[in-house]
Amino acid sequence: MLIYPEMNNTRLGTDSYYNQIITGHRIFGKDYKCQCGEDEIIKHVLIECPVWGQQRDKLPKTWLEKEIHEVVHLPGFKTYAVNIVKYLFDSRSANWTD
Ligand SMILES: [Zn+2]
């Protein structure tokens, strides 16, 4: 059984990466710059950033015209988004002094 978060109750508890995405702000609350030089906020990384354009090409274009909270529950978008946030987190953890 799938349980989707409600708009006013977005905590899932068990999936910290997904939680980062559905809050829609800075990744892990850190004041980082994206690889492209923009502020690294969830919306930028997942919807706008050219660094992730190749991954984004696999998604339906209509998804990218919506707000994140409208598409984040879709299984395909969730997988895409969690993979990117996990990658960013793992790369920071491996090189935290960067
Ligand atoms: Zn960027």
Within-domain flag for 69: yes
Inside any domain, residue 95: no
Whole-angstrom distance, CA of residue 28 vs CA of residue 16: 9
Q: Where is pLDDT greater, at 83 or 14?
A: 83
Residue 2 lies in a domain: no
In a domain, 76, yes or no: yes
**pLDDT reported for residue 10:** 41
What is the pTM assigned to this prediction?
Answer: 0.74
Q: What's the 90 CA to ligand 1 centre distance in angstroms?
A: 17
Q: For residue 6, how far is its CA from the centre of ligand 1 (angstroms)?
A: 28
10 assigned to some structural domain: no
In a domain, 50, yes or no: yes
Centre of ligand 1 from the C-alpha of residue 52, in Å? 8
Number of folded domains in the chain?
Answer: 1
The residue range of the domain holding 77 is 20-90
Domain membership of residue 11 (yes or no) is: no
Q: Measuring CA to CA, which residue among 94, 90, 92, 86 is closest to residue 33?
A: 92
pLDDT band at 8 (very low <50, low <70, confident <90, very high): very low
In a domain, 4, yes or no: no
